[in-house]
Amino acid sequence: MAHYAMVIDTKLCIGCCDCVVACKTENKVPEGLNRDWVVEATQGTYPNLKTEFRSERCNHCSHATCVYMCPTGASHHWNGTNIVLVDPNKCTGCKACIAACPYDARLIMHPGGYIDKCTFCHHRVEKGLDPACVSTCPTHCMHFGLLDDPSSNVSELLRTREHKVLAPETGNEPNVYYLI
């Protein structure tokens, strides 16, 4: 299967939230809701400090608890890939997926009456484009590609750079990686 990953370089990220606005406009995300967001984490005491910025979103987990927990089959892996989508026509808004998601990456509630979330911009991926957030980032800190292609940019970065994922202990096998 096609195994998509996003790799985000926290050394370059400045926390500008361009990714958030690009997602909102590209995907026509309703007012007051976001599919992605930026976390700032500062450690230490002045003047011995360290700040990390992370652009976060759905991790499009290979073992997605949200997909397993969805009672209607609305949450699903798209076309045999690891991209997790919600079918608005099947979603009843029961929120089981929200309880199941370790990343709190789902939106309550799209005005259309369903749970909304990041799609990795699969409508762009189909056309060979990067997700909107990746394509707009002014620091080029975000990368997108196929992990099952060893020559891809994301494979190369994960081979050569120290990295982490969020909440690896869940066993969800998340696919958003952070270079540290």
Partner 1 sequence: MGAGAVVSPLLLGGCSAHPLPGEGKVSRTPTYCDMCFWKCAAFVEQENGQAWKVTGNDTDLHSEGRLCTRGTGGLGSYEDRDRLKKPLLRVTGADGRQTFREVSWEEALDFVAKRLQSIAADYGPDRTALLNHGSGANHFKHLMRAYGSGSNAEPAFAQCRGPRDVGFELTFGEGLGSPERTDMEHSRCIVLIGSHIGENLHNGQVQTLAAAMRRDATLITVDPRFSVPAGKSKYWLPIEPGTDIALLLAWMHVLIDENLYDKDYIERYATGFDQLAEHVARYSPEWVYLETGIEPRLIRTTAREMAASAPATLVHPGRHTVWYGDDTQRSRAIAILNALLGSWGHKGGLYIKESVQLPKYPLPDYPKPKTTFRTAHGDRYPFANEGVSNALIEASIGPDAHYKGWLVYGTNLPMTIPGIRPQLKAAMDSLELVVVVDTMPMEITGYADVVLPECTYLERYDDLRNAGERHPSLALRMPAFEPRFDSKPGWWIAKQLGQRLGLDKYFPWEDYAEVIDWQLKQVGSSLEEMKKTGIKNFPRTRPRYFSPGQAVHFYTPSGKIELYSQQLADKGFDPMPEYTRPEQPPEGFYRLNYGRMPAHTFGKTTNNPLLFQLAPENTLWVNPLVANEKGLTNGEYVRLANPDGIVSNRIRVRVTERIRPDSVFMAHGFGHRSRRLHLTHEVGADDSELMTNVKVDPLMGGTGMRGNFVTIVKETV
Residue 171 has which token pair?
């066993």
Residues of this chain that interact with partner 1 (CB under 8 A) are 11-12, 14-18, 20-22, 24-28, 30-32, 34, 42, 44-47, 49-51, 53, 88-89, 110-112, 116, 123-124, 135-141
Residue with tokens 């290979």, as numbered in its chain: 62
Least separation in angstroms between CB 160 and partner 1: 13
Shortest distance in whole angstroms from residue 138 CB to partner 1: 5
- Of 34 and 175, CB closest to partner 1: 34
Which lies closer to partner 1 via its Cβ, residue 55 or residue 65? 55
Report in angstroms how near the CB of residue 19 gets to partner 1 at its nearest: 9
Nearer to partner 1, 23 or 176 (CB): 23
User: Please, which residue, 62 or 106, has the CB nearer to partner 1?
Assistant: 106
SS (H, E, C) 113-156: CEEEECCCCHHHHCCCCCCHHHHHCCCCCEEEEECCCCCCHHHH
- Taking the complex as a whole, how short is the minimal distance between the CB of residue 63 and partner 1, in angstroms? 26
* Rounded Cα distance, 58 and 37, in Å: 10
Q: Is the dihedral of CA 9, 22, 128, 83 positive or negative?
A: positive
Q: Residue 77 forms beta bridges with which residues?
A: 84
